[in-house]
Chain A
Amino acid sequence: MSEAGRVRRKWTNRIMLILCGCAVGLCILILALIVGYTVAKGANYLNVDFLTHTSKPVGEIGGGMRDEIYGTFILVGLASVIALPIGLMAGIYLAEFGSPAVASVVRFIADVLAGVPSIVVGVFAYAILVRPMHTYSALSAGVALAIIMIPVVARTAEEAMRLVPNSMREAALALGINRWRAVLGVVVPGALTGIITGIMLAVARIAGETAPLIFTALGSAFGVQGLLQPIGALPLQIYRYALSPYPDWQQQAWAAAFLLMILVLGINIVVRSVSRRKSM
């Protein structure tokens, strides 16, 4: 290679490296700004009262979001109970059992479903559950969130299972193990870290969803009253309070945003450390 070519190649390499570095820096900067701003605005107002008290009417200073925190956990739990079995089984089908033709159709549908705007999902849940039952409810919100969750879980579980080498499946089959036992006993454990990461992504996504809750959970001034009654949730309350004209409520919205961020981050860290210990 000529000397000029060598120099050019070196510089191209350097410039590309710098550009990639800049892109990474920008990503981290944006994340740091969001996190930093939320911490700066919200951390001051996050205190024990905020976690243990219910909201107060307009005009009264103080109060907290105990019921909304509780409600968020119930909704996420409800959505997970509905979505995880369906999502995981769909993922297993896509990765292990589906014929290529059927699997590609299912995969396409899952991708389309994942791309449906969440507010549309909310309207859908409103139409099939809220209207016939004549009440906003935790159940309808759970279903709406589950619909958002299913394709994310299914696709990430599928991708994780595809990464398990085929030789593992063959080794299990050659031991005279049934196909489904080989999948549950060898493939799924091998893909567990990836599957759990997918579930966490899905949980993080629905924990912060607001739009579908407007049509389904509605929010509640009377705390958690059961699955067939309206229910409050953190993102819903952030939305309400942030739009309100009262400084006290706006501050509480920041605190709630901060709390929601910590919750999602916390769940991620806990599950990751547990799954890492297990896979060792």
Chain B
Amino acid sequence: MLYELTNNTTGQAAPERVIGAQGNTKYILEVVKLSAWYGKAKAVNDISMKIKAQAITALIGPSGCGKSTLIRCMNRMHEVSDGGKVSGQVLLDGSDIYGREVDAVTIRRRIGMVFQKPTAFPTMSIFDNVASGINLTRLWYRKGELQDLVVHSLKKAALWEEVKNKLNRSGASLSGGQQQRLCIARAIAIEPEILLMDEPCSALDPISTLKIEELMLEIKKDYTVVIVTHNMQQAARVSDCTGFLLLGELIEFAPTKELFSVPHDKRTEDYITGRFG
């Protein structure tokens, strides 16, 4: 399954459907023949795909289909898991993030991540949470530094109005939805090029979910967003392209409108019409 792959090195199959055929599309991330394992269990099987810059790419599929693993491979977080192993390439602006000389820490600063459960650091204030990505990579810093950056990031994450009077309160004092936006603020404070979101709304109520979705549409002007979701409506609402995964394989990858209206693969059709999953 090499949808959308124009990689010369493989010399395989012409792209079945080209996303953004206008010709001016910029791809920022390219996954090439990526497989991933947990110990001996293979979770991602030979996936290739291209991620469009300054767009939202959604990955959908039933639980256990490997979508979270795939996204974790994109900023080298998969290798943090027990027994996490990867083969294949992930090209960021053309160079492999799994290259021999490449430091995972540097990659994670360029490709940020927001997790399913809100992970505000409970021991830090709201302010310090946002500043943590910068502060904890420097040897010395003064408390309260980075005022502008923190304010800017909180505004971007649509959280500023709600927390501007309590920046010194603990990050854990916020509601789940607010914590998740705090995590987004924290992630964009380090100014990554790509933001990966692993089911960022599945622990949130519908109103918080709506806020995060609006936020995603807002930040895609500056960042590339890849979101994993098992909520198909969400993928349909926010994303530009959607990939459907099943049992560790990328079944179909196409512009969202197309995938949801004229799916080419029978399995995609079955899934989006609710026949399984």
Contact = CB atoms under 8 A, between A and B. Distances in A.
Interface of A: 167-178, 181-182, 185-186, 189-190, 192, 279-280
28 contacts: A169-B80, A170-B77, A170-B80, A170-B119, A171-B119, A171-B121, A173-B108, A174-B75, A174-B112, A174-B115, A175-B108, A175-B109, A175-B136, A175-B187, A176-B105, A176-B108, A176-B109, A176-B133, A176-B190, A177-B133, A181-B136, A185-B135, A185-B136, A186-B132, A189-B121, A190-B122, A190-B123, A192-B123
Contacts of A280: 170
Given A176-B133, A177-B133, 14 more contacts: A167-B119, A169-B80, A170-B115, A170-B119, A172-B132, A174-B112, A175-B186, A176-B108, A176-B137, A177-B105, A178-B105, A181-B136, A185-B135, A189-B123
Contacts of B105: 176-178
Nearest to B128: A185
Given A167-B117, A170-B77, A175 B133 contact: yes
B43 interface: no
Given A176-B109, A176-B137, A178-B105, A171 B183 contact: yes
A186 B183 CA distance: 14
Contacts of A185: 132, 135-136
A175 B122 CA distance: 16
B22 interface: no
Given A170-B77, A170-B80, A177 B119 contact: no
A214 B107 CA distance: 58
Contacts of B123: 186, 189-190, 192, 279
| Most B Cβ at <10 Å: residue of A168, A175, A181 | A175
Interface string B89-125: 0000000000000000111110011010101011110
A162 to B, nearest CB: 15
A167 B77 CA distance: 12
B149 to A, nearest CB: 14
A274 to B, nearest CB: 15
Q: How large is the interface on B (under 10, 10 to 19, 20 to 34, 35 or more residues)?
A: 20 to 34
A167 B114 CA distance: 11
Contacts of B112: 174-176
| Most A Cβ at <10 Å: residue of B115, B123, B137 | B123
A171 B183 CA distance: 9
B115 A177 contact: no
Interface string B158-187: 000000000000100000000000010011
A190 B124 CA distance: 9
B80 A173 contact: yes
A190 B106 CA distance: 25
Nearest to A179: B105
| Most A Cβ at <10 Å: residue of B122, B135, B136, B190 | B136
A172 B120 CA distance: 10
Contact of B77 (A174, A182, A186, A189): A174
A173 B112 CA distance: 10
Interface string B118-152: 01011110000000110111000000000000000
A177 B129 CA distance: 13
Nearest to A167: B119
Contact of B136 (A168, A170, A182, A190): A182
A182 B135 CA distance: 11
Contacts of A186: 121, 123, 132, 136
Contacts of B135: 185
Contact of A176 (B106, B119, B124, B170): B106
A124 B196 CA distance: 57
Contacts of B124: 189
A167 B190 CA distance: 19
Contacts of A169: 80
